[in-house]
Structure 1
Amino acid sequence: MSAAEDTLADGLLLAYYGDDFTGSTDAMEAMTAAGVPTVLFLQPPTPEALQRFPGVRCVGLAGSSRGRSPEWMAAHLPQAFASLKALGAPILHYKVCSTFDSSPAIGSIGCAIEIGLQHMGGDWSPTVVGAPRLRRYQVFGHLFAAVDGVGYRLDRHPTMLRHPVTPMGESDLRRHLAAQTPRRTGLVDMVQLKVGDAQAQLTVCRQAEAGAPIVFIDVMDDETLLEAGRLVWTQRGGGLFSASSSGLSYALTAYWRSQGWLPANAGLPAATPVPMIAAVSGSCSPVSAGQIRWARAHGFATERLDIAACLLPDRREAELQRLLAQAGSALSAGRSALVFSAEGPDDPAVQAFDQHAARAGLSRTEAARAVGACLAEIMRRLLDQHPLQRVVVAGGDSSGEVASVLGIEALTVLARVTPGAPLCRAWSANPRRDGLELILKGGQMGGEAFYGQALQGG
């Protein structure tokens, strides 16, 4: 396609697979807030399922590949990508975290790109990671993230440097990805975007050798964001596969808006208040720890999950019953409840996690999923016992477990709460779950008073 088009054609504009559930809702928020009707499915969508959502322009599929091996990806991603490609969107987006954390053994973005290119084709594969709204910035190929107003190169980021599964030891994303795929990489940097040389540089990247290259595109501000979107959309050809953060969604919609194809001020309404919420947190980030402390200091009943007990079959049920009694008592009294598995990376439960897993005969990955399953079961039983309107889940793995056990088929965005963690509406064949309000929050998302925002809206 050329830049001569004067409108957005009918039909789907983009289809995406989210490598975890919180990231999937992040991408859905970016598109919906820009005026692009979006629906997120929990199973591969069919044309029949789409009929329930007339006018949809973007379709997502929530997945769990961020915590999976390349062998798992090879077994599961082909079907997921094929189902999304069949919907006919010109761009197939593999949505990754805006911190790009991954490794050759776990959550390999390189492996996903190889599989995606087999299905979608294209003569290049753009990668847009920077997302200024989420305080993520890519400059000359290096990724930076801000925490509490302080910017860090990702290999010096206080959380990502110490991530328990995929720590980031390299901020140059080309070098980082080179450990995951032999495919050559290129870069369109922020200077080339600002002076108008982006398309010429892309041509150089394409012609260097045979085979579709992976081309990173710097994004550091609104200007480079828009130019990244322009480059991807006008050079999409007959179709593209892109492994990108929600920065791709923000970039494309910025370009479409600049052309007058989207409303200038779409946005999302603010979430309204509710009397109380139930929340579970499986995140061990310092951001989540600060949010738990805030909730405790502001009237939430906060209860810690005993990880050692939840990993042992003969102790699991007793631990669930204890937490249900404590959280249920708070909800019955009109008080919000939060059950958490860790309070930051220095929590003793995190330090002893490998020992707990070994004692239970589980690998680290299996143990992490078992913790998520316990939190999901707590949420399911709380909802069975209390007619809650709104619930919150913190942590990507935990969000996936909760959404699955509740029998949710799809999600749409209702309102804004904090960037990257919108208020969603559940769609389910179960009338007790249909219409439930959920917020699925990644560990790095939100400010200290996040749970207050989730409760009070505004």
Structure 2
Amino acid sequence: MADPILAFYGDDFTGSSAVMEVLSFAGIPTVMFLEPPSAEELAGFPDLAAMGIAGVARSRDPAWMEDNLPKAFSALAGFGAPIVHYKVCSTFDSSPTCGSIGKAIDIGAPIFGGAWHPLIVGAPAIRRYQAFGNLFAGTDDGVYRLDRHPVMSRHPTTPMDEADVRLHLSHQTERKTGLVDLASIKSGHTDRILADQIENGAEIIAIDVVDDETLTEAGRLLWHDGQGPVFAIGSQGVEYALVKHLRALGRIPSTFEQPGLMPVDQLFCVSGSCSPINSSQIEAAEEHGFQIIDLDATSAISPVEWNNALEQARQESLAALSQGRDVIVATARGPDASSQSRLAEAIIKSGRSAATVNDRIGTGLGQLVADIRRKTGLPRVAVAGGDTSGHAMTALGVRALSAVAPLAPGAPLCRVHSSSDDIDGLEVTLKGGQMGDRNFFRKAKTGT
């Protein structure tokens, strides 16, 4: 095994693949596991310099985190990397009761140690910016402060009503959060400000990132001369910053030839995302000949009705694929779609928990992907939605993923590693609802 550089836990699957993307396409061999890997499994990747565990903590409550994160964190500590990264969504959406970033820090800090913990959320490559502690995110229409973002401010589960990451975290942990701000970095006073923040009792220190200069400085602070261990929190901005600094040190090549994305004849996709960006991508795919099969998510209230709906979608998908069509099976087409409001109403009326129903939907879509792969042997599939991706990969029996080629920032094409011969080698892209341009699904098929 190569000298370890970084280990990470992704709080959802799409975010985990985004970390693997940044590292792999900078020349740092990386593999992402679905469960803490054994020594034998790690030995199967002899050139590994970074490893990660793709989790589902973003959609779980603090009790689940207490039961599951310590084992994962201990496995990451055992890898021996100088940096361990708890990867969160680049829009920082979380709450004290769902996907609590503060709770994850409280669990991880005693395991990994360290005098302070870098918080790096800004990632200019994906149009995420942090200035004076406030987070901004870009859309097709412009860049919005997070509490005014047209999607995240109205997120159905974790609406972001606060853009200041320090204030947002203060509702999730009692640990003090400090800031190395944009003005301090630009004026060359980074080290003094950092020392002041630590002296004043800050344990978590957010670092503003808006451009290459601030990203490079964040990487310098993160690396700590590689002495470690450093427990970092943030988006894939952590990896972008680290790569910048390691290149400046000459630790990794300044350039790396990225592999090209090859086309396939057909693509099968499932989508559980409610994002309007994802909805626009489905619409664009339909304009280019994809057959869209709407799957009524409200049927998931009843296991029997849900299985019947899945079977109908499976039959329709196989029929369309046999005619040479590309297929997307979708449970929603945007946050204002009637399907989403109907689902919320149906869950309330049934008295069942939203988590149970959402798990059933994600697992069903994953089983659908597995069935289609086994029936058709299609070489590539696309899965949209963070929670959907996690359930889908679990249902497929995936053990690990490695990066194949860039597709869209934050959503690379990956290769499945599985003990099942009919699943092993499958190419898959796991796409968060906000990722990719309007032609994402067509690019996933054609490579252009």
Bucket of the pairwise TM-score, normalised by the shorter protein: over 0.9
Instruction: Say which of 345, 357, 378 aligns to 1:355.
Output: 345
Give the Cα separation in 2 of the matches to 1:311 and 1:295.
Answer: 29
Give the alignment's Cα RMSD to 1 decimal.
1.3
Work out whether residues 83 and 228 of structure 2, in 8 Å CA contact, stay in contact via their aligned partners in 1.
no
5 Å-filtered alignment, 1:287-298, equals: 287-298=277-288
Query: Counterpart in 2 of 1:190?
Result: 182
Instruction: Say which of 391, 407, 423 aligns to 2:397.
Output: 407
5 Å-filtered alignment, 1:121-160, equals: 121-160=113-152
What secondary structure sits across from 2:136 in the alignment?
Answer: strand
TM-score by length of 1: 0.96
TM-score by length of 2: 0.98
Q: CA deviation at 1:329?
A: 0.7
Q: CA deviation at 1:317?
A: 2.2
Q: Is 1:34 equivalent to 2:34 in the alignment?
A: no
Shift in CA distance, 96/140, structure 1 to aligned 2, threshold 3 Å: same
Give the Cα separation in 2 of the matches to 1:10 and 1:298.
Answer: 44
Instruction: Say which of 401, 405, 412 aligns to 1:422.
Output: 412
- Over residues 327-361 of structure 1, what are the superposed CA-to-partner deviations in whole Å (9 max), with x where a residue is unaligned? 11111111111000100000011112222223444
Instruction: Say which of 275, 289, 299 aligns to 1:309.
Output: 299
Query: Counterpart in 2 of 1:442?
Result: 432
Give the Cα separation in 1 of the matches to 2:303 and 2:218.
Answer: 50
Query: Counterpart in 1 of 2:203?
Result: 213
Work out whether residues 193 and 228 of structure 1, in 8 Å CA contact, stay in contact via their aligned partners in 2.
no
Query: Counterpart in 2 of 1:455?
Result: 445
Give the Cα separation in 1 of the matches to 2:2 and 2:187.
Answer: 32
Q: CA deviation at 1:46?
A: 2.0
- Over residues 375-419 of structure 1, what are the superposed CA-to-partner deviations in whole Å (9 max), with x where a residue is unaligned? 112112111211100000000111001101111111000001111
Q: CA deviation at 1:365?
A: 1.9
Query: Counterpart in 1 of 2:44?
Result: 52
Query: Counterpart in 1 of 2:245?
Result: 255
Q: Which moved more, 1:13-22 or 1:255-264?
A: 255-264
- Over residues 69-94 of structure 1, what are the superposed CA-to-partner deviations in whole Å (9 max), with x where a residue is unaligned? 01110111011101110111111110
Give the Cα separation in 1 of the matches to 2:211 and 2:84.
Answer: 24
Instruction: Say which of 68, 73, 87 aligns to 1:76.
Output: 68
Q: Is 1:245 equivalent to 2:230 in the alignment?
A: no
Query: Counterpart in 2 of 1:283?
Result: 273
What secondary structure sits across from 1:161 in the alignment?
Answer: helix
Q: CA deviation at 1:314?
A: 2.6
Query: Counterpart in 2 of 1:299?
Result: 289
Q: CA deviation at 1:195?
A: 2.4
Query: Counterpart in 2 of 1:4?
Result: none
Gaps of 5+ in 2: none
- Over residues 415-436 of structure 1, what are the superposed CA-to-partner deviations in whole Å (9 max), with x where a residue is unaligned? 0111100000111111111110
What secondary structure sits across from 1:393 in the alignment?
Answer: strand
- Over residues 230-256 of structure 1, what are the superposed CA-to-partner deviations in whole Å (9 max), with x where a residue is unaligned? 111126644111111100000000111
Give the Cα separation in 1 of the matches to 2:169 and 2:38.
Answer: 33
5 Å-filtered alignment, 1:83-94, equals: 83-94=75-86
Amino acid at match of 1:457: G
What secondary structure sits across from 2:63 in the alignment?
Answer: helix
Work out whether residues 421 and 439 of structure 1, in 8 Å CA contact, stay in contact via their aligned partners in 2.
yes
- Over residues 38-90 of structure 1, what are the superposed CA-to-partner deviations in whole Å (9 max), with x where a residue is unaligned? 00001101221111111111000000000000111011101110111011111
Q: Is 1:105 equivalent to 2:97 in the alignment?
A: yes
Instruction: Say which of 129, 141, 162 aligns to 2:154.
Output: 162
Amino acid at match of 1:454: A
Work out whether residues 154 and 168 of structure 1, in 8 Å CA contact, stay in contact via their aligned partners in 2.
yes
Work out whether residues 38 and 58 of structure 1, in 8 Å CA contact, stay in contact via their aligned partners in 2.
yes
Q: Which moved more, 1:189-198 or 1:380-389?
A: 189-198
Give the Cα separation in 2 of the matches to 1:364 and 1:236.
Answer: 43
What secondary structure sits across from 2:143 in the alignment?
Answer: strand
Gaps of 5+ in 1: 1-8
Q: CA deviation at 1:268?
A: 2.1
Instruction: Say which of 300, 303, 319 aligns to 1:329.
Output: 319
Amino acid at match of 2:127: R
Give the Cα separation in 2 of the matches to 1:236 and 1:269.
Answer: 29
The alignment-based identity, stated in percent, is 46
Count matched residues. 448
Give the Cα separation in 2 of the matches to 1:313 and 1:239.
Answer: 46
Q: CA deviation at 1:283?
A: 0.3
Give the Cα separation in 2 of the matches to 1:137 and 1:104.
Answer: 23
Give the Cα separation in 1 of the matches to 2:117 and 2:225.
Answer: 10
Q: CA deviation at 1:267?
A: 4.5
Q: CA deviation at 1:130?
A: 0.2
Amino acid at match of 2:34: L
Work out whether residues 281 and 338 of structure 1, in 8 Å CA contact, stay in contact via their aligned partners in 2.
yes
Work out whether residues 21 and 396 of structure 1, in 8 Å CA contact, stay in contact via their aligned partners in 2.
yes
Shift in CA distance, 116/37, structure 1 to aligned 2, threshold 3 Å: same
Give the Cα separation in 2 of the matches to 1:314 and 1:375.
Answer: 15
Shift in CA distance, 289/314, structure 1 to aligned 2, threshold 3 Å: same
Instruction: Say which of 224, 248, 264 aligns to 2:254.
Output: 264
Q: Is 1:175 equivalent to 2:176 in the alignment?
A: no
What secondary structure sits across from 2:335 in the alignment?
Answer: coil
Q: Which moved more, 1:152-161 or 1:190-199?
A: 190-199
